[in-house]
Structure 1
């Protein structure tokens, strides 16, 4: 079922001021130090575990393997 048609025209200034309220939020990063290397990651996200050559091995969350890459 389609929505109802608009009752009246919305002015250009009202449309633009409404759209201007949409802003991108800055992600909160968590700083971790592993083996003397500082990394920043998003909280509550699985991180990629790599071997010494930089090849992705698997995804890890809270110290547990959750998925293969």
Structure 2
């Protein structure tokens, strides 16, 4: 494992850490049967029945996984 030769100053450490910022995820709006839902792009969505029970995951109209 690499070991630094000298201690990193507090200002250098904090300025390096300040570059890591959280980003707002890009959401995709989809409308199905009058319901608007937001989801992450390229992600399988959960298909539910009328009672709200999750049935399976779907991506591009195909069943990809059971819940």
Q: Which runs of 4+ in 1 moved over 4 A?
A: none
Q: Aligned residue for 1:37?
A: 35
What displacement does 1:28 show? 0.4
Alignment correspondent of 1:16: 14
Structure 2 match to 1:4: 2
Partner residue, 1:25: 23
Q: In 2, distance between residues paired with 1:55 and 1:62?
A: 21
**Secondary structure, in 3 states, of the residue corresponding to 2:50?**
coil
CA distance in 1, matches of 2:27, 2:2: 43
* Structure 1: stretches of 5+ with no match in the other structure: none
Aligned-partner Cα distance in 1 for 2:31–2:61: 15
Length, aligned pairs only: 67
Q: Normalization by structure 1: what TM-score?
A: 0.93
Give the aligned partner of residue 55 of structure 1. Answer: 53
**Structure 2, unpaired ranges of 5+:** none
What CA RMSD, in Å, does the superposition of the two structures yield over aligned residues? 0.6
The offset of 1:25, in angstroms, is 1.4
TM-score w.r.t. length of structure 2? 0.96
